[in-house]
Homo-oligomer: A and B are copies of this chain.
Amino acid sequence: MNIGFIGLGIMGKPMAGHLIAGGHTAHLYSRSGVAQELLDAGGKSCTSPAEVAQNADVIFIMVPDTPDVEKVLFGKNGVAEGLGADKGAGKIVVDMSSISPIETKVFAARINEFKCDYIDAPVSGGEVGAKNAALTIMCGGPEAAFEKVKPLFELMGKNITLVGGNGDGQTCKVCNQIIVALNIEAVGEALLFASKAGADPARVRQALMGGFANSRILEVHGERMVKRTFNPGFRIELHQKDLNLALSGARAMGISLPNTATAQELFNSCAAHGGKAWDHSAMVRALEFMANHEVAK
């Protein structure tokens, strides 16, 4: 199949590589140029998102934030220009970036005007998941389009779910980031309490893993807190971007997310201490700054 891939950074590059390895003809565009490795594997370099859209039937996007997606889609030489030039009816635009669920619905409607389908398909699993083709992919869009793209998703990920219509994939990703942040915060408060009370946080974590307090975060990030391994992983500055989507979405929709707000402030405190590139599990450090006590030495 002729596929397109726009955005070939830490995530996009290995993802595009998996699609090429799966036997597809990949039309590639990245602001900073296309890596030689992808060209050697058979990828074709394009000079703009418009050129990608003209040549591909399924166009993947993997860029940092909402304005980046908007520019790739509707900016000068953007995807929309390519779809228009090509009478691109029947093509599918798949945005795998993590961006605003609200803007996503607007973008989808504008792409639909070209008689093209739109799928929002943000991922979790990070760089490791991208390299190992083990991403979790949360999708929103029409079921027929999803079924067409699913074999391509399966080259990049494992847990692939159609959550609902356009925007619902992004909503699900925001929910994921809320829970991950708040579960990190929960483990941080608990292990700080344990340590200050004189208990061994490693043994407390072990005991808790057998019961109702268990979570993937207790398993993975609880261990990071105990061992003080705060090299990323997933950088605090990226999680701050995601929680901003949660908090601005909450304000726009009329709901209150009190603990997400606090978690964001704790990330802000880490950043204030020079930690925007720490792993997000280092949120516990912000609790430690307040208490002047470390979970473990």
Contact = CB atoms under 8 A, between A and B. Distances in A.
* Copies assembled: 2
A243 to B, nearest CB: 11
Contact of A208 (B165, B179, B190, B207): B179
Given A207-B161, A211-B176, A167 B197 contact: yes
Interface stretch (A90-98, A148-156, A257-265, A271-279): A257-265
Nearest to A207: B161
Contact of A203 (B164, B191, B211): B164
Contacts of A189: 178, 182, 257-260
A111 interface: no
Interface of A: 101-102, 124-125, 136, 138, 140, 158-159, 161, 163-165, 167-168, 171-172, 174-176, 178-180, 182-183, 185-187, 189-194, 196-200, 203-204, 206-208, 210-218, 220, 246, 249-250, 253-260, 262-263, 266, 287, 290-293
29 contacts: A125-B211, A136-B211, A163-B207, A164-B199, A164-B203, A171-B193, A171-B197, A171-B204, A172-B194, A172-B208, A175-B208, A179-B186, A179-B213, A179-B218, A183-B183, A183-B186, A183-B215, A186-B186, A192-B255, A193-B246, A193-B250, A193-B253, A193-B255, A193-B257, A196-B255, A215-B217, A255-B291, A256-B291, A258-B266
